[in-house]
Amino acid sequence: MTKKNPYNTIFGKEPPQNISRATQMTEVLSSFEEEPSVQQIYMITGIRGCGKTVFMTEISKELAKDKDWIVVELNSSQDLLKDLTAYLGSENELAKIFKNASINLSVFGIGLEVKGSVPISNIQLALTKMLESLKKQGKKVLVCIDEVTVTEHMKAFAGAFQIFVRQDLPIYLLMTGLFENINNLQNEDNLTFLYRAPKIELRPLNLGSISNNYQKNFELSKENADHMARLTKGYSFAFQVLGYFTWKSEGDYKQAIPDFRQYLEDYVYEKVWDEMSAGDRRLAYGVAKSENGKAKDIKTILSMSDNEYSVYRDRLVKRGVLNGKEHGYVRFTLPLFEDYVIRSYEMY
C-alpha cells in the first residue's frame, strides 16, 4: 500500500484515485470543441455523491489546458451576470482586449475605464460586447456552476445565456444539480429552452475498474477486489469511502465495513432520507423488505395500487435512488441502503 491514503472522503474535491467517465467526458468535450459547436450547455445530474462536481472539474481542467478557453466558476446564489463580468474584466490579458474594444465598465465598479468611451450601464449589454470582442480573438468562455438551485440570479443568468447563444457568442455552460433542482429550473417561465439542453446523468462506475483499482492499491486477490467492488455498487462516493477505511484498516476491507456503513449513513443517507416524501419512504421500505426487488412483491407488501407504485417508483428512479432498468424489478443504487431504510422507517 502507498504511504499516504490515496482515497478522499471530502465531497466535491477531486480525489487522487479517480475512475474517469471517459465516454461521457468525450461527449461533452467533442460537442464544445467542434466548429461550429454542437452544444453550448450540459446539465450534469445524479444522486448526492455520484461524482457530479468531480466530473465537471475534470472537463473544466481539460479545456483550461487550451489557452483559448477561459474557465469561470460561479456561485448560483450570487449575482452571476455581475460576477462573470467582474471575473473577465479583472484578468489582465482579457482587460487589454476589452480596452482595445473601447468597453468601459467603470459603472459596475470593476475598474475597467476607457477614456473617451461612454460607460456601459447595462450588465447584459456589457457581457455581450465583451463576448463579441473575445470571439474576434478566437477565445471561448466556459462557465461552471455547481449545485444549481432556483434563485433570481440563476434565472436571470439562464435567460441571458439563452440570448448569448442565439447571438452566436462563444459562451458555454456546465451546471451540476440534483434532479429536483434541475427540474425546478427547467419549469421556470421563459426558461423552457433548458428542456432541450442535454443532460449527463451520472450512472454507477464500472465495477471492473473499481476492482482493478482496489487490487492494485491493496495487493488483493481478484476475488476479494471483486467483492469490494460489488460492495460499492459502483456508487462513486462509496468507492472512495470503502477505499479510505480499508487503507486505514491496513488492507482488511472486511474490518472496514462498519466504518464504511456508518460514514455513508451519516454523510449521505440521512440527507437522502430527509429529502424523501412520505410516499417515497413507504416505497423505499417496500423495496428494502422485498427479497429481490420484484414489483409484484413490493406492491403486495405495501398493499399499494399499480398507479401509486408507478408514481413513487418513477420519482425515486429519476432521483437516482432506484435502478429500474430491469422490467418488473427495482433495486437500490446505494450500497447497504436497505438496512438504513428499514431501521429509519420502523423507528418512526
Residues 200-252 have pLDDT tens digits of: 999 899 999 999 999 999 989 999 999 999 999 999 999 999 999 999 999 99
Whether pLDDT at 307 is above 60 = yes
The predicted-structure confidence for 74-100, as pLDDT tens digits, reads as follows 998 999 999 999 999 888 899 899 888
Whether pLDDT at 114 is above 60 = no
**CA–CA separation, 344 vs 339, rounded Å?**
9
pLDDT band at 112 (very low <50, low <70, confident <90, very high): low
State the cell numbers at 56.
465537471
SS3 339: helix
> CB of 202 within 8 A of CB of 21?
yes
**Average pLDDT estimate for 16-32:** 92
Whether pLDDT at 300 is above 70 = yes
Averaged confidence pLDDT in the chain: 92
At residue 174, φ and ψ (nearest 5 deg) are: -120, 125
SS3 199: strand
Over pLDDT 70: what percentage of the chain?
A: 97
| Domains, the chain, ordered by start | 22-201 (3.40.50.300), 207-254 (no CATH), 276-347 (1.10.10.10)
pTM: 0.91
pLDDT at 99: 86
**CA–CA separation, 266 vs 9, rounded Å?**
12
